Structure 1
Amino acid sequence: MCQPLCHLQEHKPRGSDAAPSCPQPRTVVDELEARMSEGGVIVDYHGCDFFPERWFHIVFVLRTDNSCLYDRLHSRGYTGKKLQDNIQCEIFQTLYEEAVLSYKKEIVHQLPSNTPEDLERNLDLIMQWIEQWMKDNN
């Protein structure tokens, strides 16, 4: 079954009092390598092109309608370039394209993520997939 939830540590530039920033891809891979080799891990991250293909049996890309996404990000305090970059990323399907280029196309699936009902359906679908995978591979 899946391992307990863990989070990557927040990273700050060395010798800096700056706010934590997104960790570098190599740092993320290094930090997850041992856990991933044990199996049973679900990774939730805002990118995927640097994760080794061997880590995943399936990849889900959450997609959001731009009007929903704008409101969601605005309510979280996103403004300016950060808001614009996130909206453009969704318009151009950047994460989906990244996933399709990084992994076998047949393991990459898009799921709608617009409403709380979508969240529930997605969780159900992912749990069904995990249960079926376990039956097929154990």
Structure 2
Amino acid sequence: MSDDRRMPNILVTGTPGTGKTTTSEMIAQVTGLNHVNVGELVKAKQFYESYSEEYDTHILDEDKLLDELEDMLTDGGNVVDYHTCELFPERWFDLVLVLRSETHVLYDRMVQRGYNKKKLDENMSCEIMQVVLDEARESYAPEIVVELQSNTVDDMESNVDRVKQWLDAWKEQHKA
């Protein structure tokens, strides 16, 4: 898919609370890429099978989501944010950003969101064990996976600047 695209697709992933949506919105604003918030898309289009009271979240219908995203991502020009990455085909993305946060920062963000204890504990364990980073490294070519710290607004702005530089280089290389 990437050879036919006029613009790249970027995946921004990480444990809930690492700043994926904020960073993705900032990237979209600076670059003109289309922001695709997968969590919101799932809710809006009801791409879920059921609801888990235990984790206070919907259970994803992967097939419906992937069918929808296939069409959306074909031409490129998207920054996609979601808390997991292994379900997406490697061919969809030219750059995969894995946002990481220090545990005390992440904990405070999750408490602020009102996460229940089970959800908070599970997500904290995932960040400590770098689950999303490992999934990204297993699912995508190593040269497109970039781990970025996302603890402060300065971190986010720096990350957006790096993406802008990467996009400029991509355009030059692909004459987009």
Q: Does 1:96 align with 2:133?
A: yes
Tell me, in whole angstroms, the C-alpha distance in 2 between the residues paired with 1:89 and 1:31: 27
Normalised by the size of structure 1, how large is the TM-score? 0.88
SS in 2 for 1:38: coil
Deviation at 1:25, TM superposition (A): 2.4
Unpaired segments ≥5 residues, structure 1: none
Tell me, in whole angstroms, the C-alpha distance in 2 between the residues paired with 1:91 and 1:20: 21
8 Å Cα contact 2:98/2:133 also seen in 1: yes
Deviation at 1:5, TM superposition (A): 3.3
- 1:121 corresponds to which of 140, 146, 158: 158
Residues 44-83 of structure 1 mapped to structure 2, 5 A cutoff: 44-83=81-120
Deviation at 1:130, TM superposition (A): 1.0
User: 1:109: which partner in 2?
Assistant: 146
Tell me, in whole angstroms, the C-alpha distance in 2 between the residues paired with 1:31 and 1:65: 34
In structure 2, do the counterparts of structure 1 residues 59 and 127 end up closer, same or farther at CA, with 3 Å as the change threshold? same
Residues 126-137 of structure 1 mapped to structure 2, 5 A cutoff: 126-137=163-174
Tell me, in whole angstroms, the C-alpha distance in 1 between the residues paired with 2:122 and 2:88: 22
Identity %: 41
Deviation at 1:3, TM superposition (A): 4.6
Of 94-103 and 23-32, more deviation after overlay is shown by 23-32
8 Å Cα contact 2:105/2:151 also seen in 1: yes
Q: Does 1:24 align with 2:54?
A: no
Of 4-13 and 35-44, more deviation after overlay is shown by 4-13
Normalised by the size of structure 2, how large is the TM-score? 0.70
Unpaired segments ≥5 residues, structure 2: 1-6, 8-31
SS in 2 for 1:71: helix
Deviation at 1:23, TM superposition (A): 2.8
8 Å Cα contact 2:98/2:148 also seen in 1: yes
Larger radius of gyration: 1
Aligned length: 136
Q: Does 1:36 align with 2:73?
A: yes
Deviations 1:60-105 (A, max 9, x none): 0000000110011101111211000110000000000000000111
Tell me, in whole angstroms, the C-alpha distance in 2 between the residues paired with 1:9 and 1:22: 10
